[in-house]
Amino acid sequence: MKQEKMENKAVKLPEDLSFAADYSCYNCKYMNGGSGSQIYCEYYRGYYDPGYCDHFISKY
Amino acid sequence: MINVSSKTVSEINESLGAGKIESGGLLGSLNNGDIDVFFFDSGIDCNAGEYNPDIKKLNEQLSEWDRSNIAFRGIIHSHMDKKELSPKDVFMARKLLNANSLSSVLMPVYVINSKSIIWYEVTDKTVKYMDHHVIK
């Protein structure tokens, strides 16, 4: 895999870079429900993987 | 498919695997595009759900890598048990791509509870699970 970068310039991380296990559904406004890889969807009242709940909308 | 050195895998297990809170580090290549360089970062004010990289320290390290011809390949961070990248993780990866005019970045997740590494590649449009091969 080729990785391009700007010539003669080191990669620089953005100042506000941060990572969070935030799987909130923006639709439900429900925060980090569930366990493992699933979230709880208040709309459907069930546990879903974020990629499979069609009600799930990320806020990012 | 990506090649990762066994030394890098050990370093990741010993550092990210030792903690109970999220942490992370930089991934780089010195030889042939293989992932064979790792720089651990315990971060700033991290907790069980959040890794905040020590940006100043990491940017200094990236400048050092640039001088040593080590190519930046990505950032690994840990989750307690979730193996997927969160929407915020993907958002931040794309922020990194755009800030550096990169086409892709590796964003593996180290799952603390299972001591496993799940490899992902993020581009502007896609998040792809990557098969990997551990090399000597």
DSSP symbols for B65-106: HHHTTPEEEEEEEEESS--SPPHHHHHHHHHHHHHHT-S-EE
Tokens of B3: 């090649």
Is residue A55 within 8 Å of A41, Cβ to Cβ?
A: yes
ipTM of the predicted structure? 0.91
Question: Which of A12, A32, A35 lies nearest to residue B59, judging by beta carbons?
Answer: A12
Cβ–Cβ under 8 Å, residues B22 and B50 = yes
**pLDDT 10s digits, B23-71:** 999 999 998 889 999 999 999 888 778 899 999 999 999 999 999 999 9
Q: Which residue in B39, B59, B75, B126 has the most chain A C-beta atoms within 10 A of its own C-beta, making it the best mutation to test that interface?
A: B59
| Minimal-distance CA residue of chain B relative to A15 | B55
Q: What is the pLDDT of residue A25?
A: 67
Q: Is the pLDDT assigned to residue B83 strictly greater than 80?
A: yes
CA distance A21 to chain B (A): 5
Predicted TM-score (pTM) of this structure: 0.84
CA distance A57 to A29: 9
Given a cut of 70, is residue B112 above it in pLDDT? yes
